[in-house]
Amino acid sequence: RGAAAEAAPASPAPERFAAEPLRAGLVELRAGASRVRVAPDAGIAEWSVDEAPVLRGPYPSAAPFASLAARRTGLWCTRLADRDHPDQGVEWADDRDALEYADAATGAGIAPGGWTLAPGDDDGLVVRADAGEGPRDGAAPAAPVETAIHFVPDAGTAAEIVVEVLGRRWRLDPGGAWRGAVDAAAVVLRDGRALVAEPVGERAELFVRSTAAGPLVTALGRGPLELRLRVVASRALAERALAGRRARAGEGER
Give the start-to-end residue ranges of the domains of the chain. Answer: 76-135+143-253
Proportion of the chain above pLDDT 70, given as a percent: 86
Enumerate the β-bridge partners of residue 79: 147
CA distance linking residue 93 with residue 42, whole number of Å: 12
131, 146 in Cβ contact below 8 A? yes
Cβ burial of 245 (10 Å; 0-12, 13-18, 19+) is: middle
Q: Average pLDDT of the chain?
A: 89
What's the chain's length in residues? 254
- Of the candidates 151, 150, 190, 188, the one whose C-alpha atom is nearest the C-alpha of residue 52 is 190
Kindly compute the dihedral angle of the four CA atoms of residues 122, 124, 130, 131, in this order, to the nearest 10 degrees: -160
pLDDT for res 253 = 43
pLDDT-derived band at 14, boundaries 50, 70, 90: confident
Q: What is the Cβ-side half-sphere exposure of residue 69, based on CA atoms within 13 angstroms?
A: 1
The answer on pLDDT for 13 being more than 60 is yes
The answer on pLDDT for 153 being more than 80 is yes
Q: How far is CA 224 from the centre of its chain?
A: 14
Proportion of the chain above pLDDT 90, given as a percent: 72
Residue type, 216: L
Q: How much is the average pLDDT of 3-30?
A: 76
Q: How much is the average pLDDT of 123-127?
A: 97
pLDDT-derived band at 175, boundaries 50, 70, 90: confident
pLDDT for res 9 = 58
